[in-house]
Amino acid sequence: MSQKCELCGGTGRKTFLIKHQTTQMWKTVIQWCICTKSKLISENPHHKILAGLGDSFIPLDQVDPQLEFHSDKLDECPNYLILSETDDISFRFHIKGIIMKHGFMSPPVSFYCCDSIDVLKKFYVQQDDGSSPSLSDLNRYDLVVIILGANEKNDQLKTCIAQVIYNRLTARKPIWIYLRVPIGNCIQERSPELEEYLKNFKSVTLRNTRREAPVKNSKVREKAEVSPYFHKD
């Protein structure tokens, strides 16, 4: 049986009594607990690569500072090539941390994180419901994260990945690429166009989290978040 979150007692919410700035009346404010945020992120179908993490996450102050994301200045965000020296589970926890930091802001910030083969399956071929998606549909997301190194063979995958990167660069929206294996071994995705695009990406190796036990929601200490429209007495 999983332990109850020490912050919310398993309710998934936190309650604050605060005084309204103008009326000076006390009001009850209810906010999602960080354990709920973590679970929602992992269960979001747009974050398919995070599904296996469940409600586990690393403390947000341990998210690798090399990863810069500014939701209000998307055209200034770096495009990252996250090298294969970063192990797979560490990569996923760092990406989850980025989403936890920015995914509950107002206005909403949208993310799409997937394996390369899912780009082809979800945005290139006709769907079971008869709809015909387009690779350009990925441009509606603020940040796209794609894992290269597919085992599944598909001759169209090279074209898909190169086109998605081109679309994002043209739209001036960030895209982060993670190499599960060295680029020379990304047989299914590698193409001259891809390698040319990646020359202008910022290459990084993220901090290994394997030696730092990822925390469950019951172990986290989070500072209370209060709406900017209110203040405590």
**What would the pLDDT profile of 8-50 be if each residue is shown by its tens digit?**
655 555 555 666 677 777 776 666 678 888 999 999 999 999 9
Question: Domain check: are 120 and 209 in the same one?
Answer: yes
Is 16 or 96 the better-scoring residue by pLDDT? 96
Percent of the chain with pLDDT over 90: 61
Question: How confident is the model over 191-212, as pLDDT tens digits?
Answer: 999 999 999 999 999 998 864 4
In contact, 203 and 86? CB cutoff 8 Å: no
Distances (CA, A) of 169 to 48, 79, 162, 189: 23, 9, 11, 18
Query: Residue-wise over 31-57: b if at least 16 C-beta within 10 A, else e?
Result: bbbbbbbbbbbbebeebbbbeebebbb
- In this structure, the answer to whether residues 143 and 206 fall within a common structural domain is yes
> Strand 13-20 to strand 26-32: parallel, antiparallel, or no bridges (unpaired)?
antiparallel
In DSSP terms, which residues pair with 203 in a beta bridge? Answer: 81
Residue 92: pLDDT above 70? Answer: yes
Q: In terms of pLDDT, which residue wins out, 209 or 224? A: 209
Do residues 25 and 96 both lie within one domain?
no
Residues 101 and 175 grouped into a single domain: yes
Are residue 110 and residue 192 in the same domain, yes or no?
yes
Q: Do residues 5 and 105 both lie within one domain?
A: no
Closest CA to 55 of 214, 224, 222: 214
Does the residue 52 lie in any domain? no
Q: Is residue 130 part of a domain?
A: yes
Three-state SS string across 85-117, please? CCCHHHHHHHHHHHHHHHCCCCCCCCEEEEEHH
Residue 82 has what pLDDT? 98
Is 51 within the bounds of a domain? Answer: no
Contacts of 39 (CB under 8 A, 6+ apart): 54, 55, 217
pLDDT at 166: 98
Which residues lie below 8 Å from residue 22, measured CB to CB, with a gap of 6+?
none
User: pTM to 2 decimals?
Assistant: 0.81
* H/E segment holding residue 24: none
Q: Are residues 20 and 130 in the same domain?
A: no
In this prediction, residue 134 carries a pLDDT of: 93
CB 33 within 8 A of CB 14: yes
Residue 112 · residue 46 · CB < 8 Å: yes
Residue 182, domain extent? 58-214
Q: Would 19 be classed as within a structural domain? A: yes
162 and 91 in contact (C-beta within 8 Å)?
A: no
Same domain? 169 vs 188: yes
β-sheet with 26-32: strand ranges across: 26-32, 13-20, 230-231
pLDDT at 5 over 80: no
What is the overall mean pLDDT for the chain? 84
In a domain, 53, yes or no: no
Q: How far apart are CA 138 and CA 142, in angstroms?
A: 9
Q: What is the DSSP string of 45-86?
A: TTBGGGGGGTT-B--GGGS-TT----TT-GGGSPPEEE-TTS
Same domain, 106 and 188: yes
Give yes or no: residues 7 and 109 share one domain: no
Task: Quote the tokens at residue 78.
Answer: 């770096």
pLDDT of residue 95: 98
Residues 112, 18 share a domain: no
Residue 179 lies in a domain: yes
Structural domains of the chain, count: 2
